[in-house]
Chains A and B, each alone.
Chain A
Amino acid sequence: MARVDFANPRMPDGSQPRSQLMTLNMGPQHPSTHGVLRLKLLLDGEIVVDVEPVLGYLHRGSEKIAEGMHWIKFIPLTDRMDYLSAMNNNHGYVMAVEKLLGGPEEQVVSERAEHLRIFAAELNRLSNHLFWMGTFMLDIGAITPLFYALREREEILGFMEELCGARLTFNYMRFGGVKYDLPQDPTYLDRVQAFLDRMPAQVAQYQRLLKTNDIIVSRLVGTGPLTREQALAWGITGPMLRATGVAHDIRKAAPYSIYKSLNFDVPTTTQSDCYGRLQLRWAEMIESVKILDQVVDRLRNRDLDGLHLNPDYAGGKILRVKAKGEAYVRTEHPKGEYGVHVIGEGKQNPVRVHVRAPSFANLQALPIMARGQKIADLIATLGSIDIVLGDVDR
């Protein structure tokens, strides 16, 4: 990320500024920086000349902490990285450790457990996108959409609570499976299915309310543009990349878990601005519902093999014996590509855990998107990236 030369400022086109520019430190205490992000702004009136994101205010050293604790004890800490999509964090980490433990031909995770994982992960993707939509609307000044989004998210959290007992930091996945099988309640999947049946209509409601609103259109269209080349050069992933027209989704590009057997599309758009990203995430919600429909159908009607947790991997012994070498796994997180790199030496602690956080990588694009725009656009652009500071700083 290029540093901004505050002592000798230049306009976005490289020319000398005509008037004295103002430096403004937006954050770390600011209502719209989604946590404790600090933006050093160089402003010419309302126009953002340059931005420099300053990170680290929520740095908890998670990756270092991992080195001092048992492999399995790090799972709850992954919950706390991107706390809005904890299931997806869990999934990436346990997959990385499983790759370390077992060879590719070895059946570590049963089919049933894989379905439970995707069930949880896709529900979480839905809830992440819902919350993103609400907070994004908050950023451009509309408060009520948040509550419409939270209405559906609450239901999802209710399902999650029944599944694993927690509503935010789930700590659900384990090496070799998941912690709990489906709830005892026989109506559970029926209720989930009823919710899924309703969800497309709810998305249609958001679209009806937000898509053609004049103020929303004038605020979002053309705001925070990002070209395909820029996105690829900066390593942008997830909805931000797909909004530039690149149909890159790890679930399709390098299918993991059971995604190969599921039927879904990767929505893309070429309208790479805040408006396009909003549309794209709506389309992704619909796709998640499609995936969930299939997974729920299989969980109900098919006799899926295996236990929800492979007992061979549940204990700590196998980790001490087999957790040797390196493994890198990438998964499609709601915010982008989520990579986990683990190194073990056959002890009960990892030697190194590194997380490639999508929020962190995507945040890099903020300066190139926001330069030359208005302050209000900067806020909208930042919102459209979908960052969680827990994920940026870790």
Chain B
Amino acid sequence: MGLTAWTDSLLQRAGWDAPHWTDLLIASLVGSVIMFTVVLSTGGLFTFAFRRIFARMGQRPGPNRVGPGGILQFLADGAKLITKEDVRPAKVDRLAWTAALYVAVVFTVLAWAPLPWGEGVWFANVGTGILLLLAMGAIAPLAEIMAGWGSNNKYSLYGGVRAAALDVSYEIPMLFAVAAVILLVGSLSTNDIVLSQAGVWFIVPQIVGFVIFFITALAKAGLVPTDLAESESELVAGYTTEYSGMRFGMFFVVIFSNVFFVGALATMLYLGGWQAPLGQTFPILASFLGPATGVFWFAVKSLLMSFVVFWVWSTLPRVRVDQYLNMAWRVLLPISILNFVGTAVVVRLFQTGVL
């Protein structure tokens, strides 16, 4: 059940006797608020998680003073950022500079809508969920380009141009990798993708696709080793150079919520989504968690994948932009096309009964 439908039914059960459109409006508003809260607080919490993991990798304790284990650190950081002066440099392109932030936040949040958190648990039940998800994800880099151009700063411009160059190069291998999964499923619904992994997770037949997907998803989310649009040792802060205070904070939160998003996407596409591993049911666990079992497995897998992202982040240096483009066009693209064609042939052979 989608979030809107759920709030809608709650309102009706509470005896709300309004016309359907008001009903829907309120439900949508409540749904959006919940969705934004979930996504942005995930991003916020992940800044904390990142700092702790990063610190442990570097043999440091990390932030551990605010709240139990330092978990409220992100609120303290947020409070600091909100109370900072909001500086708008005099010669920015006002529209592009301001809108970039909203584009970044809105489309990042929207991309989460069709994620299947559990059996029938999602923000929005969309028949063509994976398409919506990828489309929203594809708009998000536009924000980097807008910010890069609108900031009237050469470092930002370089960041924006790099984002554009990267965008066209990772998008195609990524779509081919995902398309191979869609071929196996035969449906665009995110729920169907998860359900068809009941027996074998797609990471087994699609291991090549998984690797390609992971590499390109890191670039899409702007994460190390491919954080080229931001690359702080070269471009100061890339496209975020001219943002300060909470505006910068929101870009930051978007990046960190993307970490979870990458993990969640990998989980959904390749790691069996909300299903327990190896087709088991774990009755004891299910008796504890009840209907939340699916959410539990989804969260565990996504968090594990997010940890891998952080791990990569703290381990690898940054690739050079031309080296990444070379790899994307000359290595990832051919392999992803081969993978796609091969999958198509195998699926067709299965359908015709040859195999």
- The residue of chain B having its C-beta at the shortest distance from the C-beta of A375 within the complex is B234
Tell whether B111 is near chain A: CB-to-CB under 8 Å: no
- Residues of chain A within 8 A of B235, CB atoms compared: 375
In the bound complex, what is the Cα–Cα distance between A25 and B235 (angstroms)? Answer: 11
B319 CB–A CB distance under 8 Å: yes
Residue B30 is within 8 A (CB to CB) of chain A in the complex: no
Residue pair B317, A375 in contact (C-beta under 8 Å): no
Given contacts A151-B59, A374-B320, A377-B320, A144 and B315 within 8 Å (CB-CB): yes
Q: Which of B224, B233, B321, B322 contacts A31 (CB 8 A)?
A: B233
Q: Once the chains bind, are A147 and B59 in contact (CB under 8 Å)?
A: yes
> Closest CB of chain B to A175's CB: distance in Å?
41
B150 at interface by CB-CB < 8 Å? no
Chain A contacts with B in 90-149, Cβ cutoff 8 A: 137-144, 146-148
CB of B31 within 8 A of chain A?
A: no
In the complex, the answer to whether A31 meets B236 with C-beta atoms within 8 Å is: yes
Residue from A30, A148, A219 in contact with B317 in the complex, judged by beta carbons closer than 8 Å = A219
Number of interface residues of B (CB under 8 A): 27
**B residues in contact with A46, CB < 8 Å:** 158, 321-322
Do B320 and A139 touch (CB < 8 A)? no
Give the distance in Å from the alpha carbon of A375 to the alpha carbon of B161 in the complex.
14
Among A22, A143, A219, find the residue whose CB has the most chain B CB atoms closer than 10 A.
Answer: A143
Instruction: Check: A194 CB closer than 8 A to any chain B CB.
Output: no
Other-chain contact of B60, A141, A147, A374 (Cβ < 8 Å) = A147
CB < 8 Å A-B pair total: 75
Q: Is the CB of A215 within 8 A of B317?
A: yes
Bound Cα distance from A218 to B59, whole angstroms: 27
Pick the contact of B318: A141, A146, A151 (CB < 8 A).
Answer: A141
Given contacts A213-B317, A374-B321, contact A144 B57 (CB under 8 A): yes
Question: B93 interface residue, CB < 8 Å from A?
Answer: no
Which B305-355 residues have C-beta < 8 A from chain A? 314-323
Chain A residues contacting B317 (CB-CB under 8 Å) are 137, 140-142, 213, 215-216, 219
- Interchain CB contact under 8 A, A215 and B316: yes
**Nearest residue, chain A, Cβ from B58:** A147
Q: Which residues of B contact A30 (CB under 8 A)?
A: 236
Docked complex Cα distance between A46 and B321 (Å): 9
Q: Return A275 CB to nearest CB of chain B, in Å.
A: 13
B94 at the interface (CB under 8 A from A): no
CB-nearest residue of chain B to A218: B323
Neighbouring A residues of B323 by C-beta, 8 Å: 218-219
How many positions in chain A have a CB within 8 Å of any CB in the partner chain?
Answer: 28
Indicate whether B73 reaches chain A with its CB closer than 8 angstroms.
no
Nearest neighbor of A138 in chain B, beta-carbon distance: B233
Whether A143 lies near B58 (C-beta < 8 A) is yes
Within 8 Å of chain A (Cβ to Cβ): is B267?
no
Question: C-beta contact mask, A18-32 vs B, less than 8 Å → 1, else 0?
Answer: 000010100000111
Give the shortest distance, in Å, between A137 (CB) and chain B (any CB): 7
Contacts of A219 in B (CB 8 A): 317-320, 323
Does B86 touch A at the CB level, under 8 Å? Answer: no
Q: Return B324 CB to nearest CB of chain A, in Å.
A: 10
Contact among B58, B155, B231 for A141, CB-based, below 8 A: B231
| CB-CB nearest in chain B for A27 | B236
Instruction: Please tell me if the beta carbons of A139 and B319 are within 8 angstroms of each other in the complex.
Output: no
Is B129 located at the chain interface by the 8 A CB criterion?
Answer: no
Q: Do residues A374 and B231 form an inter-chain contact, with CB atoms below 8 A?
A: no
| Complex Cα gap A143–B59 (Å) | 12
- Bound together, the chains give a CA A216 to CA B315 distance in angstroms of 11
User: B88: CB under 8 A from chain A?
Assistant: no
A215–B54 CB distance below 8 A: no
Q: Are A31 and B316 touching (Cβ within 8 A)?
A: no
A376 lies within 8 A of B320 (CB): yes
Using an 8 Å CB-CB cutoff, how does the interface string of B88-116 with A read, 1 for contact, 0 for none? 00000000000000000000000000000
Interface flags, A206-237, vs B, CB<8A=1, else 0: 00000001011011000000000000000000
Complex Cα distance A146/B317, Å? Answer: 12
Query: Within residues 149 to 183 of chain A, which ones have a CB less than 8 A from any CB in chain B?
Result: 151
Residues 255-270 of chain A: 1 if any B CB is under 8 Å from the residue's CB, otherwise 0?
0000000000000000
Q: Which residues of chain B are within 8 angstroms of A142 by Cβ–Cβ distance?
A: 315-318
Q: Are B320 and A218 in contact (CB under 8 A)?
A: yes
List B contacts of A361 (CB < 8 A).
Answer: none
Q: Is B154 an interface residue (CB 8 A)?
A: yes
Query: Is B232's beta carbon under 8 Å from chain A?
Result: yes
Whole-angstrom CA separation of A379 from B155 in the bound complex: 14
- When C-beta atoms are compared, the residue in chain A nearest to B323 turns out to be A218
Tell me, yes or no, whether B225 is within 8 Å of chain A by CB.
yes
CB of A22 within 8 A of CB of B233, answer no
Q: List residues of chain B with CB within 8 A of the CB of A141.
A: 224-225, 227, 231, 233, 316-318
Complex contacts, A379 vs chain B, CB 8 Å: 233-234
| B-side contacts of A143, CB under 8 Å | 54, 58, 314
Inter-chain contact A22/B231, CB cutoff 8 Å: no
- A144-B58, A147-B60 given as contacts; is B236 within 8 A of A376 (CB)? no
* Assembly CA distance A143 to B232 (angstroms): 11
Tell me, rounded to whole Å, the shortest Cβ–Cβ distance linking B246 to chain A: 22
CB-defined contacts of B322 to chain A, threshold 8 Å:
46, 374
Q: Is the CB of B231 within 8 A of A376?
A: yes
CB-CB nearest in chain A for B317: A142
Query: Please, which residues of chain B bring their CB within 8 A of the CB of A147?
Result: 58-60
Once bound together, how far apart are the Cα atoms of A376 and B233, in whole Å?
A: 8
Contact among B54, B227, B233, B314 for A140, CB-based, below 8 A: B233
Q: How far is the CA of A141 from the CA of B233 in the complex (A)?
A: 7
Q: Is the CB of B154 within 8 A of A24?
A: yes
Q: How many whole Å from A68's CB to the nearest CB in chain B?
A: 39
Chain B residue at minimal CB-CB distance from A137: B317
**B283-324: which residues lie under 8 A (CB-CB) from chain A?**
314-323
**Interface contacts beyond A31-B233, A375-B234: sample of 9 additional A-B pairs, CB < 8 Å, sorted by A:** A24-B155, A141-B225, A141-B233, A142-B315, A143-B58, A144-B314, A146-B58, A148-B58, A215-B318
Closest 5 CB pairs of A and B: A141-B318, A147-B58, A142-B317, A141-B317, A32-B233
B binding-site residues for A, Cβ under 8 Å: 54, 57-60, 154-155, 158, 224-225, 227, 231-236, 314-323
25 A-B Cβ contacts within 8 A? A22-B154, A24-B155, A31-B233, A31-B236, A46-B158, A46-B321, A137-B317, A138-B233, A140-B233, A140-B318, A141-B316, A141-B317, A143-B54, A143-B314, A144-B314, A144-B315, A148-B59, A213-B316, A215-B316, A219-B323, A374-B320, A374-B321, A374-B322, A375-B234, A375-B235
